Amino acid sequence: MLKKTIVLCVFACSGLCAQLSGTERVIVTVSKDWESNEAVLYLFERAGGTWRPAGEGIQVHYGEMGLAWGNGLHPGQEGVQKEEGDKRSPAGMFSVGALYGLDARAPEGVKVPYHQITAETRCIDDRNSPLYNKVVEKRGDDSSWTSAEHMVRVNPDYKYVLLVEHNRGNVPGGGSCIFLHINNVPTSGCTSMDEEAMVRLLRWLEPGTRTVLVQLPEPEYRRLQHEWNLPPLPEMNP
């Protein structure tokens, strides 16, 4: 898979930090190793040039097979790369996209825009389609794909679902339809959590505030923490 990363910058740094300019919040998920599908999610806010935790860690799950390097904001990395159907969640750094859900409206207290999933909403996972890795509304007898997630049927998982902007170039076979969603069990490549935790995360998001997602095994987090200027995790504090 491809790769392009950005780093959270607090101090003077390289050109990569220019891409992270304006990032005010970061969602971090960290697992024990590449093969683990269990992880902990942390929320961080930047205040006065310093990343500060926002609440306690949240238990989450990755894809059944763990992690593989995804195609996001970060530079290319050596190792197993994310592929369509590999049952791995993407590792790296990614923009956070649109919020969708099965309910008529978002939970009370959620301020970011909300899009209700309809009977026509599809996420295209056909690698040969020009709409690969896009969420669309099916119009009539649309034959531009042969495979897609019929999102209204992904219940309860997609009751609330936050798009991870992975593979934004829509590289065929590079992985599609990556979300944060509810139903805290191993997934096909998304990151899942309990509904209460998801609602807490959604209420924490602020419109107009740039937020990124970082997903890494802990050894990789340690390796890249200084280079990417990542927040110190609670268990990694001196």
Render pLDDT for 110-144 as a digit per residue (tens, 0 to 9): 999 999 999 999 999 999 999 999 999 998 777 78
DSSP codes of every residue in 130-194? TTTT-EEE--SS--S-S-EEEGGGSTTGGGEEEEEE-STT--TTS----EEEES-S-BSSSEEE-
User: Among the residues of 21-135, which ranges form H helices?
Assistant: none
Residue 85, pLDDT above cutoff 70:
yes
Give the mean pLDDT of the chain. 89
More confidently predicted of 126 and 11: 126
Per the rule left: phi > 0, alpha: psi between -120 and 50, beta: everything else, 212 is: beta
Helix (H) or strand (E) holding 204: helix 195-204
Domain spanning 16-232, CATH class: mainly beta
Q: Report pLDDT for 14.
A: 42
Phi/psi of residue 30, each to 5°? -135, 130
175 neighbors 71 (Cβ within 8 angstroms) = yes
Q: How confident is the model at residue 100 (pLDDT cuts 50, 70, 90)?
A: very high
Other Cβ atoms within 10 Å of 44 Cβ, number: 22
Q: Report pLDDT for 226.
A: 87
179 class by beta-carbon count within 10 Å (0-12 exposed, 13-18 middle, 19+ buried): buried
Residue 23, pLDDT above cutoff 80:
no
What is the distance between the alpha carbons of residues 190 and 183, in angstroms, rounded to a whole number? Answer: 11
Bridge partners, 162 (sequence order): 99, 180
Residue 97, pLDDT above cutoff 90:
yes
Phi/psi of residue 93, each to 5°? -130, 135
Q: Report pLDDT for 7.
A: 32
More confidently predicted of 174 and 7: 174
Residue 197, pLDDT above cutoff 70:
yes
Q: Report pLDDT for 139.
A: 83
Contacts of 192 (CB under 8 A, 6+ apart): 60, 61, 157, 180, 181, 182, 183, 184, 185, 186
Q: Report pLDDT for 142.
A: 76
26, 130, 136, 138, 205 from 172: Cα distances, Å: 28, 9, 17, 20, 31
Whole-structure pTM value: 0.89
More confidently predicted of 155 and 9: 155
Tell me whether strands 179-182 and 191-193 are parallel, antiparallel or unpaired: parallel
Q: Report pLDDT for 21.
A: 53
